[in-house]
A and B are shown apart, each in its own frame.
Chain A
Amino acid sequence: MRHVFHVRIGPVGFRIGSDWRGPVAELERLYAGYPQPADGIPDFTVRLFAARPWRRWLRPAVTLGGDFVLPDAAPLPLAQGLLAAEMAMNLQMALGQRRYLLLHASAVERDGRAVLMTGLSGAGKSTLAALLAARGWRLMGDEFALIDPATGLVHAFPRLVSLKNAAIGAVGAALPRARFGPLLAGTPKGDIRHLVPDAEAVARMDRPAAPALILFPRFGFDAAERGLGPSEVFVRLTQASTNYVALGERGFAAMTRLVGKVPARAIDYPDAESGIAQVETLWNAL
């Protein structure tokens, strides 16, 4: 592969090869300051390639490849090469991660304890995490929270935060000094822009935290809140975990311990300010 990029994000190292310079240049710029894979040996390999030789130049389209792939995945236009790289890294984690239990959740940390926010696309977990990071919380990640089955701690995985549509403006306004990737318009999910985790998030990425609160946020509803029992949390978290089954008994142990010990709340919120306020109120009440 002509162009190569290496990076370590939390405990996971990646090698990304690309037929084009563009995506690699963007990754180098946005992940500047991140460490290299441990011992120089990445956990996963990603390839961004042209499926047919002419696709390198003629309406260039990026096909996703790597250690783990989804067959029949549609290629992305080269202009969205950064998105392709992020999606491919997600795929390696979703299909290949076996050391940590993956929760489909964002995570922020304060004083060694973490809030995990999980829910469907559009529920606001990335946006809430980004805005909380602006208010003194340490960003641990916006896509995957990594639970160590041996300790129950959550490990940071601070990838570029993927913001969609209206959230782009909102977060841009709240974080005037933050670094952003390019605006990617017209993707399958609308407009996307990536927020670069701040220096603190990068510097502290190797410090795990104890999960202290699990939230199921829902954006765009009148403010409301209810508690959830452990079995409901168990079902919702396992359904949202891509590797729970593959982890076998370790996954079961990690999940039962998590839902047994950590309180969970579903929160509905009409706008970001209200959501943030609810999170901080619940945190202070712990």
Chain B
Amino acid sequence: MLLVCALRDPASVASLDARGWTALLAIARAEQLIGTLAHRLDGVMMPAAAARILADARASAVEQRRAALWEAEAARRALADVNAPIVLLKGAAFVAAELTAGKGRSIGDLDILVPRAAIEAVEHALLAAGWEWVKPDPYDDAYYRRWMHELPPLIHRERDRMIDVHHTILPLTARITPDAGAMIADSVALGNGLRVLSPEDMICHAAAHLFADGDLAGGLRNLWDIHCLIEEFGTASLATRAHHHGLWPAVSHAARQAHALYRTPIPESWRTQEGLDWLFRRRLLARDGWGRPTRALTRFGFYARSHWLRMPPAMLVRHLWTKWSKGYRPV
């Protein structure tokens, strides 16, 4: 809660002692939110040591933004002759479109969305331009190509940065099937040859990614993205769009959690309390003052659940069995 309070209410850090600051910084790092925190606390009175650490975090975020935008540009150049729209996703999209969600954000790999029909052409163009496969397990590769919503990961030979090419936003085996075609059709041009999702679709994607796809690891950051997007764009046509994608449960749940944690402005009628909301919140806040994940049973419950969402039970058993017999263990 320490991190959530600081993000929601920057002035509240005035009451922190050295121990509190130490814990806050460790948690923020563990949740990949230290750049965001640094941005939110810019100008707030604090001990000099904390100010230095947060200044470093701001400088780091600037470099990450630079690297992310260059990767996007490199992808654009490589795919210039592929006749298909290239839509940036997640962190790279937020910084490219200069949204509040991008301020101080940590950005990892480049994620792009392309039409399924173009996926082979995109794959060939990237391989020709210096990207190569991150040597996957042949079992994983076959699984990936058949069922996942993206190509197996590619990494650039010289720059050592990864790119994830998606053709829809959830695995093909998942129970929910968002309308990828509509997302691409309604994407917004940035003016440099790249595109981003419409604001409603960005929120739908973040919510899908948070609840329907993952095991909630990184959930606080995802929810902060959603909070920023809703604050910046409002919720006017969000419900309609979410229903269209079959993502209303995920979006409404995300909005409720964002409101509960970050006081995101959402319509009164959305501010309900549903049965398992507390359990999700427990999972989101499962970190101690040392940055360690806590509440192991809750976490394992969510790990199993995330796989359950991605594939039918019979496949899940076979998949987990193959993984376990190869010595893979969830963290």
Residues of A within 8 A of B (CB): 1, 13, 15, 17, 37-43, 45, 47, 65, 67, 98-99, 246-248, 250
Tell whether, in the assembled complex, residue A39 and residue B56 are in contact, meaning their CB atoms are under 8 Å apart: no
Query: In chain A, what residue has the closest Cβ to B26?
Result: A45
Tell whether, in the assembled complex, residue B60 and residue A39 are in contact, meaning their CB atoms are under 8 Å apart: no
Residues in chain B near residue A43, CB distance under 8 A: 49, 52-53
Given contacts A40-B22, A45-B291, A246-B63, 10 further A-B contacts (CB under 8 A): A39-B47, A39-B50, A41-B22, A42-B22, A43-B49, A43-B53, A45-B290, A98-B57, A99-B52, A248-B66
Tell whether, in the assembled complex, residue B290 and residue A39 are in contact, meaning their CB atoms are under 8 Å apart: no
Tell whether, in the assembled complex, residue B62 and residue A248 are in contact, meaning their CB atoms are under 8 Å apart: yes
Residues in chain B near residue A246, CB distance under 8 A: 60, 63
Determine how close the nearest CB of chain A comes to the CB of B134; give it in whole angstroms. Answer: 14
Chain B residues 39-67 with CB under 8 Å of chain A are 47-50, 52-53, 56-57, 59-60, 62-63, 66
Query: In chain A, what residue has the closest Cβ to B288?
Result: A1
Tell whether, in the assembled complex, residue A39 and residue B292 are in contact, meaning their CB atoms are under 8 Å apart: no
B145 interface residue (CB < 8 Å to A): no
Tell whether, in the assembled complex, residue A45 and residue B62 are in contact, meaning their CB atoms are under 8 Å apart: no
Determine how close the nearest CB of chain B comes to the CB of A3; give it in whole angstroms. Answer: 12
Residues in chain A near residue B17, CB distance under 8 A: 40
List 26 A-B pairs, Cβ < 8 Å: A13-B49, A17-B290, A37-B49, A39-B18, A39-B21, A39-B47, A39-B48, A39-B50, A40-B19, A40-B22, A41-B18, A41-B22, A41-B47, A41-B53, A42-B22, A43-B49, A45-B22, A45-B26, A45-B290, A47-B290, A65-B292, A67-B30, A98-B56, A99-B56, A248-B63, A250-B59
* Pairs of residues from A and B, 6 with the lowest C-beta to C-beta distance, nearest first: A40-B18, A39-B49, A39-B47, A41-B49, A98-B56, A38-B49
Residues in chain B near residue A250, CB distance under 8 A: 59
Query: In chain B, what residue has the closest Cβ to A97?
Result: B56
Residues in chain B near residue A47, CB distance under 8 A: 290, 292
Most B CB contacts (10 A, CB to CB) among A39, A40, A42 go to: A39
Residues of B within 8 A of A (CB): 17-19, 21-22, 25-26, 29-30, 47-50, 52-53, 56-57, 59-60, 62-63, 66, 290-292
Determine how close the nearest CB of chain A comes to the CB of B18; give it in whole angstroms. Answer: 3
Residues in chain B near residue A15, CB distance under 8 A: 22
A42 to B18, CA, bound (A): 9
Residues in chain A near residue B21, CB distance under 8 A: 39, 41
Interface of B is mostly: helix
Query: In chain A, what residue has the closest Cβ to B48?
Result: A39
Query: In chain B, what residue has the closest Cβ to A38?
Result: B49
Given contacts A67-B26, A246-B63, A248-B63, contact A41 B50 (CB under 8 A): yes
A247 to B291, CA, bound (A): 25
Residues in chain B near residue A37, CB distance under 8 A: 49
Residues in chain B near residue A39, CB distance under 8 A: 18, 21, 47-50
Residues in chain A near residue B57, CB distance under 8 A: 98
A153 to B7, CA, bound (A): 36
Determine how close the nearest CB of chain A comes to the CB of B62; give it in whole angstroms. Answer: 7
Query: In chain A, what residue has the closest Cβ to B56?
Result: A98
A43 to B19, CA, bound (A): 13
Query: In chain B, what residue has the closest Cβ to A42?
Result: B22
Tell whether, in the assembled complex, residue B29 and residue A67 are in contact, meaning their CB atoms are under 8 Å apart: yes
A122 to B59, CA, bound (A): 35
Determine how close the nearest CB of chain B comes to the CB of A112; give it in whole angstroms. Answer: 24
A43 to B57, CA, bound (A): 11
A42 to B66, CA, bound (A): 28
Tell whether, in the assembled complex, residue A98 and residue B22 are in contact, meaning their CB atoms are under 8 Å apart: no
A90 to B63, CA, bound (A): 22
Determine how close the nearest CB of chain B comes to the CB of A218; give it in whole angstroms. Answer: 29
Determine how close the nearest CB of chain A comes to the CB of B29; give it in whole angstroms. Answer: 5
A47 to B29, CA, bound (A): 14
A47 to B62, CA, bound (A): 28
Contact of A1 among B19, B47, B63, B290 (CB under 8 A): B290
Contact of B60 among A38, A42, A67, A98 (CB under 8 A): A98
A67 to B56, CA, bound (A): 14
Given contacts A39-B48, A41-B25, A42-B22, contact A98 B59 (CB under 8 A): yes
Query: In chain A, what residue has the closest Cβ to B160?
Result: A245
A259 to B291, CA, bound (A): 39
A154 to B325, CA, bound (A): 52
Determine how close the nearest CB of chain B comes to the CB of A72; give it in whole angstroms. Answer: 12
A192 to B8, CA, bound (A): 49
A42 to B49, CA, bound (A): 8
A1 to B60, CA, bound (A): 29
Residues in chain A near residue B56, CB distance under 8 A: 98-99
Query: In chain A, what residue has the closest Cβ to B63?
Result: A248
A225 to B324, CA, bound (A): 57
Tell whether, in the assembled complex, residue B18 and residue A67 are in contact, meaning their CB atoms are under 8 Å apart: no
